[in-house]
Amino acid sequence: MKGTHALETLLVRAIQGGVRAMSWRASLGMGAAVGELALGLGLRREVGLANLAIAFPERTPEARAEILRRHYRHLGQVACEYARLAELSAAPVGEVIAVARGLEHVEAARRLGRGVILLSGHYGTVELLGACVARHHPVDFVEKPLSNPAVDAIHARLIAEAGVGYIPLGAGARRIFHALRQNRCVALLADQDDHEQGVFVPFMGRLSSTPVGPAAIALRHGSPIVMGFITRCQDGRHEIDILPALDLAAAVGPDAARIVTAQHTACLETWVRRHPEMWLWLHRRWKTPPPEEMADAVAAAREPAAALPGRAREA
């Protein structure tokens, strides 16, 4: 093990042990303070501010800075919650999850027998969303393995304790299709820059390189895409909203995967605009520019996404 990996592993284990020794409520306060510290140290602050300026040009710099401050506090809380996924997902109704709406949509999708693509973004404590769904339906996370094997093993153990399976991204599509054939829910995130291999669809006013994987899998296997979101309440608890399966009837022809990708990306945008502090602003989402021949589409992308079904508290 590399020296840096060994130090990183010791640090992760120490943090995990410290968080688990605290009550969940106390750990939220600590996590928020750690987030404020990270903001004060300037960790990726400029990236976040630049992203917010792209997404919300109509808001003042002060308003965008406040969104980012709340986002850093939220990220610290997410890190603390991740260490106790199993405990939080099994908590009595109303204690950690204030309300869970739409679980019936997962049940309806599974009745088709083609598995379910459970899709979200880097929004809220998304791993807790998957762990809560796994209390009712079999779920596998598809995630990129961490560069530190020891920390990756800790990560795999945490989600296993929460009753969730783990499919490492890059292990090949075979395991994903195997899970779908077993009528399991395969949880994916598809909201980060995918460089030149992504498809360019509108997101927050810009054409954005977006992974096409979920759409391609759904179209190939006939699996429904069910989108879910977990939003933190002011009291620290969470609300879960699972939406009806996307209507893929219009996704035909050679452009079908792009159509589906645009559809689920527009849905995510609706939620990000409602609760901007919940989404990950510290990733360079618009790193890859669209090709010059897409100039007309770039102009059209500046129009806000239409509202899609699903409840949310207005920001």
Q: How confident is the model at residue 293 (pLDDT cuts 50, 70, 90)?
A: confident
Q: Which residues contact 304 (CB under 8 A, 6 or more apart)?
A: 205, 269, 273
The predicted pLDDT at position 299 comes to 62
Q: Which residues contact 117 (CB under 8 A, 6 or more apart)?
A: 180, 185, 186, 188, 214, 217, 218, 223, 224, 225, 226
Whether the pLDDT of residue 304 is over 90: the answer is no
In tens, the pLDDT along 53-91 reads 999 999 999 999 999 999 999 999 999 999 999 999 999
Record the pTM. Answer: 0.91
Q: How confident is the model at residue 300 (pLDDT cuts 50, 70, 90)?
A: low
Q: Which residue has the higher pLDDT, 312 or 263?
A: 263
Look-up: residue for tokens 């140290």?
41
CA 205 – CA 24 distance, rounded (Å): 37
DSSP string, 96-158: SEEEEE-HHHHHHHHTTSS-EEEEE-SBSSHHHHHHHHTTTS-EEEEEPPPSSHHHHHHHHHH
In tens, the pLDDT along 186-241 reads 999 999 999 999 999 999 999 999 999 999 999 999 999 999 999 999 999 999 99
Q: How confident is the model at residue 305 (pLDDT cuts 50, 70, 90)?
A: low
User: What one-letter code names the amino acid at 227?
Assistant: M
The predicted pLDDT at position 8 comes to 84
Q: Where are the domains of the chain?
A: 94-300
Burial class (CB in 10 A: 0-12, 13-18, 19+), 193: middle
In tens, the pLDDT along 92-129 reads 999 999 999 999 999 999 999 999 999 999 999 999 99
Of 17, 284, 8, nearest in space to 147 by CA: 8
In tens, the pLDDT along 17-27 reads 999 999 999 99
The predicted pLDDT at position 301 comes to 66
Question: Cα Rg for the chain, rounded, in angstroms?
Answer: 19
| Inter-residue contact 248 to 190 (CB < 8 Å) | no
